[in-house]
């Protein structure tokens, strides 16, 4: 399956990455060749790859430049599209791999969420160049210090902590490639929060120490060529240095878990339990019809737009052989999306959760807007079936997106089929969102929907529910066969 890919990477001097078809091809700089081969041949690397924690790599050492070919992750997601539980899963994977690497004589030289992608609910580390040999002997001036420590705090710990303390959305990471600085977090916190157990160590103390250092007169600093003898650090003992590093990672793990936001609730995260416009029988009727559609169409990949807490995503993912159907669940409500991810992880269902809004999709970012792709290009033409269950009236009434525009986007997203739940004007949910705009939307009907589908989709099946909502199955008309309007 072809998908849009970002341009080649250029930031790491040890190598660059480009995309060729279904492969991610990494070119290794000559200076890093021996170290990379050493790592790839190590039992550590092979164990991580066999578990699926580290991206696989086929090695081509036949030419002047070392080439690694990795399987391309079908639909990459970025930290600004993750839920808190996804951030925790990525942080836990990073710390686990670093801890395992230290025990085997290696270490992670950097630690950022951008090194992690998701396959379904499972995180996978994708940057092999992040691993390097440790030298816990006298030649290493700081063998007990993890050089990526500060980066981990900025990019993992502080975003989670500020989400918890001040509800700074994790999507702000879109604008902070290298994470949050303790000083900017300090300025935003009231004094009571600055002195709290959660903020004192990672935010307040670093900020105050930095201020003190900046304010100190130059004469107070030791001259660069001071002859003062330096005491030998006990951390220069290799075994002790390793022990200190392991303790550092355990402490970071504990602090990260404490920093994670509490399980949030919203109107939409409790939506399935608070339905007033569906009786149990109507819910079963809807579920049975969608199940029949899934069994008939047998999609290999499903996009569930407005997935809420994932009832229909789970239905699609659980039909047929294990992991036969891959599901991407798109949900704009953070609490609902987080519950969805935790459900998929607990049940080991192949559901990739994306916390994003279809009406305001994630933009392309990075150098020349080409390092991280916009959301829609990653999704277009990737799915055999798209589910839009009780979504269109939200796009119409809350975002004022015209029906033809919505159906045009659906035509780009699906390769075969589209399922729509049409909510009539008289429906209580439609009325609650109408907000006095009867002149604009008060006369909308199923006919308007069918007119918007004309020349784009063929109607295959229709199911009217007892609450007057309507379920419709459409088949896509290929672009080369669309009639000119």
Q: What is the pLDDT of residue 370?
A: 83
Residue with tokens 């989709």: 457
pLDDT digits over 64-112, tens only? 889 999 999 989 999 999 999 999 999 999 999 999 999 999 999 999 9
Q: In this predicted structure, which of 10-19, 280-289, 303-312 has the lowest mean pLDDT?
A: 10-19
Which pLDDT does position 439 carry in this prediction? 82
At 11, the pLDDT band (50, 70, 90 cuts) reads confident
DSSP symbol at 423:
-
In contact, 455 and 477? CB cutoff 8 Å? yes
Whether the Cβ atoms of residue 305 and residue 391 lie closer than 8 Å to each other: yes
Q: Residue 138 above 60 pLDDT?
A: no
What are 418's strand-pairing partners? 386, 474
C-beta separation of 386 from 417 below 8 A: yes
pLDDT band at 295 (very low <50, low <70, confident <90, very high): very high
The predicted pLDDT at position 246 comes to 93
Q: Which secondary structure element, helix H or strand E, spans residue 303, and what is its range? A: strand 301-305
| Sequence-ordered list of residues with C-beta below 8 angstroms from that of 94, at least 6 positions apart, any chain | 108, 111, 115, 116, 125, 152, 156
Residue 228 pLDDT more than 50? no
**pLDDT tens across 347-359, in order?**
999 999 999 999 9
Question: CA triplet 188, 190, 193: central angle to 5 degrees?
Answer: 105
Which residues, 6 or more positions from 190, have their beta carbon under 8 angstroms from its beta carbon? none
Residue 260's pLDDT is what? Answer: 87
Mean pLDDT, residues 157-176 taken together: 95
Q: How many CA atoms lie within 13 A of 441 on its CB side?
A: 26
Q: Which of 256, 264, 262, 78 is nearest to 158 (CA)?
A: 256
Give 437's Cβ-side CA count (13 Å radius): 14
Strands 66-71 and 23-28 come out as antiparallel
Q: What is the Cα–Cα distance from 335 to 131, expressed in whole angstroms? A: 35
Cα–Cα distance, 185 to 38 (Å, whole number): 41
Out of 144-148, 152-156, 262-266, 373-377, least confident range = 262-266
Separation CA 471–CA 473 (nearest Å): 7
Q: Could you tell me which residues are beta bridge partners of residue 419?
A: 387, 473
CA distance 242 to 143: 8
Q: Which pLDDT belongs to residue 97?
A: 98
The whole-chain average pLDDT of the chain stands at 88
pLDDT score of 321? 72
Task: Among 159-163, 220-224, 334-338, 452-456, name the one with the lowest average pLDDT.
Answer: 220-224
Residue 128 neighbours by CB distance under 10 Å? 23
The pTM score is 0.90
Task: Say if residue 30's pLDDT is above 60.
Answer: yes
Question: CA 313, CA 387: separation in Å to the nearest integer?
Answer: 9
pLDDT value of position 226: 42
Give the whole-number percent of the chain exceeding pLDDT 70: 88
pLDDT score of 221? 47
Predicted confidence (pLDDT) at residue 272 exceeds the cutoff of 70:
no
Structure confidence at residue 5 (pLDDT): 62
Which residues does residue 475 pair with via DSSP β-bridges, in sequence order? Answer: 417, 458
Least confident span in 135-149, 244-258, 414-428, 448-462: 135-149
């Amino acid at each position: 399956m072809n998908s849009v890919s970002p341009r080649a990477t250029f930031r790491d001097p040890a190598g660059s990455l480009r995309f060729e078809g279904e492969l991610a091809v990494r070119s290794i700089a000559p200076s890093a060749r021996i170290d990379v081969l050493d790592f790839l041949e190590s039992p550590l690397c092979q164990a991580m790859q066999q578990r699926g924690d580290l991206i696989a790599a086929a090695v081509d050492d036949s030419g002047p430049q070392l080439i690694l070919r990795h399987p391309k992750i079908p639909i990459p997601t970025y930290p600004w599209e993750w839920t808190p539980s996804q951030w925790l899963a990525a942080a836990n994977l990073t710390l686990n791999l670093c801890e395992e690497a230290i025990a085997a004589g290696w270490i992670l030289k950097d630690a950022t969420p951008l090194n992690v992608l998701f396959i379904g609910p499972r995180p996978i580390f994708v940057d092999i160049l992040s691993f390097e040999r440790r030298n816990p002997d006298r030649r290493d001036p700081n063998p007990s210090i993890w050089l990526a420590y500060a980066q981990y705090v900025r990019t993992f710990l502080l975003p989670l902590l500020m989400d918890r303390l001040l509800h700074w959305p994790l999507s702000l990471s879109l604008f902070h490639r290298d994470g949050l600085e303790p000083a900017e977090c300090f300025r935003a916190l009231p004094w009571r929060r600055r002195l709290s157990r959660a903020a004192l160590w990672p935010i307040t103390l670093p900020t105050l120490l930095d201020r003190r250092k900046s304010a100190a007169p130059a004469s107070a600093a030791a001259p660069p060529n001071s002859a003062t003898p330096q005491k030998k650090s006990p951390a220069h003992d290799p075994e002790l240095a390793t022990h200190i590093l392991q303790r550092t990672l355990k402490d970071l793990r504990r602090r990260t878990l404490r920093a994670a936001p509490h399980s949030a609730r919203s109107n939409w995260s409790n939506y399935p339990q608070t339905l007033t416009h569906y009786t149990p029988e109507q819910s079963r009727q809807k579920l049975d019809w969608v199940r029949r559609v899934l069994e008939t169409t047998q999609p290999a990949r499903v996009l569930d737009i407005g997935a809420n807490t994932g009832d229909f995503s789970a239905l699609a993912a659980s039909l047929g052989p294990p992991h036969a159907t891959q599901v991407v669940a798109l949900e704009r409500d953070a609490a609902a999306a987080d519950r969805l991810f935790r459900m998929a992880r607990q049940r080991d269902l192949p559901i990739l959760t994306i916390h994003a809004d279809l009406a305001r999709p994630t933009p392309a970012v990075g150098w020349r807007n080409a390092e991280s792709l916009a959301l829609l290009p990653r999704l277009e033409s990737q799915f055999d079936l798209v589910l839009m269950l009780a979504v269109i009236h939200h796009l119409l009434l809350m975002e004022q997106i015209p029906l033809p525009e919505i159906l045009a986007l659906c035509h780009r997203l699906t390769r075969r089929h589209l399922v729509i739940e049409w909510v009539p004007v008289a429906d209580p949910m439609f009325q609650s969102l109408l907000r006095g705009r009867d002149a604009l939307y008060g006369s909308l009907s199923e006919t308007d929907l069918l007119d918007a589908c004309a020349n784009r989709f063929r109607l295959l099946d229709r199911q009217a529910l007892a609450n007057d909502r309507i379920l419709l199955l459409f088949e896509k008309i290929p672009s080369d066969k669309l009639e000119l309007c």
